[in-house]
Amino acid sequence: MDGEADGTVGMSEDCGPGRRRRVHGMLKLYYGLNEEGKAAEEPESLDPCDINGPHFDPELYLNKLRRECSLAELMDQETCMVKQIRSLDSDMQTLVYENYNKFISATDTIRKMKNDFKKMEDEMDCLSANMAAITEFSASISGTLQDQHTQITKLSGVHTLLRKLQFLFELPARLNKCLELQAYAQAVSSHRRARCVLQQYSHLPSFKGIQDDCHAIMDKLAQELRQKFRDGGSSAKDLSECVELLLQLDEPAEELCDKFLSHARSRLESDLQGLEAEIRPYPSASAVKDASARRLSSTTGAGSLTNNSPKTNTLPSPTSNTDILEFIDRGCNEFVSSLCLVITSYQELFINHAQTGELASKNIPQMANAKLHVFVDDLAARYFSLVERRIQEEKGVGDNSLLVRALDRFHRRLQAVAKLLPGSTVPNKGTEIVIRAATERVKQYLSALQSFYMDSLTDVRQALATPRLSVAGASVAGGGSLLGGPASGRDAPTSLPELLSSLSASILNQIKSVLASVHLFTAKDITFSNKPYFKGEFCSQGVRESLVVSFIKFVCQSSRQFCESAGDKGGSTPPALLLLLSRLCLDYETSTISYILTLTDEQFLVQVQGLIISQMLRKSVETRDWVNTIEPRNVRAVMKRVVEDTTSIDVQVGLLYEEGVRKAHSSDSSKRTFSVYSSSRQQARYAASYTPSAPMDTNLLSNIHKLFSERIDIFSSVEFNKVSVMTGIIKISLKTFLECVRLRTFGRYGLQQIQVDCHYLQMYLWRFVSDENLVHFLLDEIVGSSAHRCLDPAPMEQSVIEVICERG
């Protein structure tokens, strides 16, 4: 009773969810269950003294306790065991009280299940008896109807045969009906169903007659399908059905492909003939000679140095009825569009159409694709020939916009052929035409510049041959009017310096005009201008080398020839002309050549990549508050973008240029550290000797160090190799970074962020340049310049910088 009272009190005091979980846990432990309610797979304990084990022996357990424990410990053990017994009793009572309703419900369920199972057993016995009766009755029926079943099977076979014979005898009439209704697919399907049977029994006269009638009808049907195929006026779906039916009628696939391409060729050739009619024939040899004679006679007269239009040897050949843009538009809208339509229709009929049955084993798509490539290449070659002939008629070097727009439209429309017919050589050959046209245009401009220069020298010689000439304002014996009387339009004699200035200005203006015309080839809205196979080669080799540099060489070569002819016996070169040419060449050497090449580089994007990265770095410096910035925890995203863009540029340049030569790299190239005092390596060594009362002038030490450092020419000439190009881009970018830093004020964390960014750039940029010391020097200058402009210069530990950069 005491135990019950204690258990009741305990239950009333602790009946929360925590106690319930503890009780359930103890019961699971007692019954050896895990969390899922299954018996825990634990090895059974064989120890007889294990009170929770199945082999527990009370006598041995008590003897062990008496032997090992003192009296006080025995008393404690007894007390503890009594408490556990009472606790278990209480828990058992609690479980009974809590689960009383469940026990009652389980008892009722078990009683009901017993009644249900008894009823189910009776029903199963009844069902078994019924199944036995049904089986016996079915066997009796099968035995009775066995003979009739055999007769029914024979009759069914005869009925099926009669239906087949009926289909065969009605087949000619059925085919004629389909032919009248133009149900060609149904006719072919019916004939294919009966073809094998008719072939198998063709030795019988009746079947032979049916076969002959069907062949005649199908020949007529095939003729109509061929006519429909040749007409080509049907829709794509009808043509596809027509081709499929002809293939099912054993029409040779190659013959169908040839017929389709032959019909398409006739239409496309008519388009080519229309284009060819717009191209006039080349001028005859006599016309060329007459044109040359007229040009030579026209150059004997006096000319004006102020005329900036190029003087070319344009042939007087008859021009086309339409301009180049209209010609290309017509070719694209008629021939190229029709060709794309033919390719699409042909692929739908013979290549992309799913083949089934016997047709799938004939490899029709492979054969058809090969024929299509030959067909397209043949017609495209003729079209390209006409385009090149028309481009060659564009001999004038005036307005370049029509030619560029025409080439752009030509290149753009050919990309459709590349998408429709992968692997075709048509787009590549079209691109070659664009490149050749641009290159030929550059040659024409070079010839025009050379002609203009020689005509200008002719004008100078005529001016020097006048009876009066003033040199620097003084009269010279035998001097005269520069351009000869009233033709010059000037009353006072022209001085030699003015003559030189006029000549130099006219040539320079002519070069600028030519560069502006050629620059249209690289406009942003021109599709081929951004292609790597055009842009890099055209800008560097085509414009810079083949045009500008070649013209400068021509000027030098022609001047040298004047000097050599003056030394010959009977030479006619005036000394004043040699004097003027010598001064012109000297001016070119000192300033003009550099100006022209810089102008060319700027217009044709030789420095554009360095400027793009420079702009990115400039914005990243100018848009940040470097005084109040937070402590750096990672590399800024713009630095990662700079490294990514530089790597991408390196890959692109490597596709066009050779590697180049670079100095040997040191083993710790990516682990270099930076001083916060602008490259003053020795300053840290001496800084400790200075006290706050006598601070060291860090700017002075920095300037002294710069005196003994190698000067870096940021905008030095770039050679045509990958290392030189990448070195120029990185120099421009880091120089911009340095100049932007010099315009800002930094706090402690701003300086530390610059340290982190520069170390990250050093880890990657050194491998792109010809000399790693160049990158290290510029980055050291950036960090040092930041330190000089820092309000609280406390640099970050190098180990911390390395961790941040490696993590970034």
Banded model confidence at residue 564, pLDDT cuts 50, 70, 90:
confident
Helix extents (H) in 182-252: 184-200, 205-231, 236-248
Q: What is the mean pLDDT of residues 356-366?
A: 62
**Do residues 585 and 559 make contact, with C-beta atoms less than 8 angstroms apart?**
yes
Both tokens of 343, joined, read 């390719």
Residue 517 lies in a domain: yes
The pLDDT score that the predictor gives to residue 118 is 81
The per-residue pLDDT for range 13-32, each reduced to its tens digit, is 444 556 566 656 665 665 55
The per-residue pLDDT for range 649-674, each reduced to its tens digit, is 888 778 767 887 777 665 555 555 55
**Do residues 459 and 305 make contact, with C-beta atoms less than 8 angstroms apart?**
yes
Residue 419 lies in a domain: no
The pLDDT score that the predictor gives to residue 492 is 34
Same domain, 193 and 246: yes
**Do residues 677 and 695 make contact, with C-beta atoms less than 8 angstroms apart?**
no
Tokens 């040997």 sit on residue: 664
Q: Check pLDDT > 50 for residue 4.
A: no
In this structure, the dihedral spanned by the alpha carbons of residues 503, 508, 514 and 520, taken in order and rounded to 10 degrees, is: -160
Residue count (the chain): 808
Same domain, 159 and 191: no
Same domain, 588 and 453: yes
The pLDDT score that the predictor gives to residue 685 is 33
Q: Check pLDDT > 90 for residue 42.
A: no
Which residues, including other chains, have CB under 8 Å from residue 468's CB and lie 6 or more apart?
475, 476, 478, 479, 480, 481, 493
**Which stretch of 138-152, 497-511, 694-708 has the lowest confidence by average pLDDT?**
694-708
The pLDDT score that the predictor gives to residue 568 is 56
**Which stretch of 294-298, 553-557, 723-727 has the lowest confidence by average pLDDT?**
294-298
The pLDDT score that the predictor gives to residue 384 is 92
Secondary structure of 529-579 in the HEC alphabet? HHCHHHHHHHHHHHHHHHHHHHHHHHHHHHHHHHHHHHHCCCCCCCHHHHH
Q: What gap in Å lies between CA 219 and CA 225, rounded to an integer? A: 10
The pLDDT score that the predictor gives to residue 284 is 47
The DSSP output letter for 666 is P
Tokens 């432990």 sit on residue: 29
**Which stretch of 409-423, 471-485, 504-518, 580-594 has the lowest confidence by average pLDDT?**
471-485
| Residue 548: other Cβ atoms inside 10 A | 24
The pLDDT score that the predictor gives to residue 695 is 40
Both tokens of 153, joined, read 């099977």
Same domain, 579 and 644: no
Same domain, 544 and 600: yes
Q: Check pLDDT > 60 for residue 757.
A: yes
Q: Check pLDDT > 50 for residue 341.
A: yes
Q: Check pLDDT > 60 for residue 161.
A: yes
Banded model confidence at residue 491, pLDDT cuts 50, 70, 90:
very low
Residue 127 lies in a domain: yes
Same domain, 721 and 799: yes
Same domain, 733 and 779: yes
Same domain, 595 and 736: no
Banded model confidence at residue 702, pLDDT cuts 50, 70, 90:
low
Q: Check pLDDT > 50 for residue 304.
A: no
**Do residues 220 and 184 make contact, with C-beta atoms less than 8 angstroms apart?**
no
Helix 236-248 and helix 184-200, axial crossing angle in degrees, nearest 10 = 0
C-alpha 301 chain-centroid distance? 58
Going from the C-alpha of 276 to that of each of 102, 279, 307, 316, 431, the distances in angstroms are 102, 5, 38, 20, 21
Nearest CA-CA partner of 329 in 395, 412, 399: 412
Q: What is the mean pLDDT of residues 215-230?
A: 72
Of 430 and 609, the structure prediction assigns the larger pLDDT to 430
The pLDDT score that the predictor gives to residue 494 is 61
Secondary structure of 596-652 in the HEC alphabet? HHHHHHHHCCCCHHHHHHHHHHHHHHHCCCCCCCCCCCCCCHHHHHHHHHHHHHHHH
Same domain, 515 and 566: yes
| Residue 698: other Cβ atoms inside 10 A | 18
Residue 450 lies in a domain: yes
- % of the chain residues with pLDDT over 90: 12
* Half-sphere exposure (Cβ direction) of 299: Cα atoms closer than 13 Å: 19
Both tokens of 243, joined, read 């081709």
| Residue 712: other Cβ atoms inside 10 A | 15
Cα-Cα end-to-end distance for the chain? 75
Q: What share of the chain is helix, strand, coil (3-state, %, to 5)?
A: 75, 0, 25
Residue 175 lies in a domain: no
Q: What is the mean pLDDT of residues 229-255?
A: 67
Residue 18 lies in a domain: no
* Half-sphere exposure (Cβ direction) of 730: Cα atoms closer than 13 Å: 32
The pLDDT score that the predictor gives to residue 134 is 92
Same domain, 637 and 759: yes
Q: Check pLDDT > 90 for residue 537.
A: no
* 526-531 long-range Cβ contacts below 8 angstroms, 24+ apart: 526/404, 526/408, 527/408, 527/411, 527/412, 527/415, 528/407, 528/408, 528/411, 528/431, 528/434, 531/431
The pLDDT score that the predictor gives to residue 758 is 94
**Which stretch of 463-477, 570-584, 682-696 has the lowest confidence by average pLDDT?**
682-696
The pLDDT score that the predictor gives to residue 65 is 86
The per-residue pLDDT for range 676-693, each reduced to its tens digit, is 544 333 333 333 332 333
Same domain, 632 and 598: no
The DSSP output letter for 319 is P
Q: What is the mean pLDDT of residues 391-411?
A: 84
- Give me the number of domains the chain comprises: 4
Q: Which of 280-289, 490-499, 524-533 has the highest mean pLDDT?
A: 524-533
Average pLDDT value for the chain: 75
Q: Pick from 136, 164, 192: which residue ends a domain?
A: 164
> Please, what's the b/e burial string for 332-342 (b: 16 or more CB within 10 A of its CB; e: otherwise)?
bebbbebbbeb
C-alpha 392 chain-centroid distance? 35
Both tokens of 168, joined, read 């065969």
Q: Check pLDDT > 70 for residue 205.
A: yes
Nearest CA-CA partner of 641 in 773, 806, 764: 764
Q: Check pLDDT > 90 for residue 755.
A: yes
Q: What is the mean pLDDT of residues 271-284?
A: 75
Same domain, 775 and 640: yes
**Do residues 600 and 544 make contact, with C-beta atoms less than 8 angstroms apart?**
yes
Residue 386 lies in a domain: no
Banded model confidence at residue 356, pLDDT cuts 50, 70, 90:
low
**Do residues 639 and 755 make contact, with C-beta atoms less than 8 angstroms apart?**
no
The pLDDT score that the predictor gives to residue 323 is 84
**Which stretch of 141-145, 778-782, 799-803 has the lowest confidence by average pLDDT?**
141-145
Residue 635 lies in a domain: yes
Q: Check pLDDT > 80 for residue 604.
A: no
Which residues, including other chains, have CB under 8 Å from residue 433's CB and lie 6 or more apart?
384, 387, 388, 391, 410
The pLDDT score that the predictor gives to residue 682 is 36
The pLDDT score that the predictor gives to residue 761 is 93
Which residues, including other chains, have CB under 8 Å from residue 562's CB and lie 6 or more apart?
573, 577, 578, 581
Domain extent at residue 764: 624-658+713-807
Q: What gap in Å lies between CA 518 and CA 521, rounded to an integer? A: 6
Q: Check pLDDT > 90 for residue 760.
A: yes
Q: Which of 116-125, 322-331, 703-712, 746-755 has the highest mean pLDDT?
A: 746-755
Phi, psi for 495 (deg, rounded to 5) = -85, 160
The pLDDT score that the predictor gives to residue 461 is 83
Phi, psi for 490 (deg, rounded to 5) = -130, 135
Q: What is the mean pLDDT of residues 378-395?
A: 89
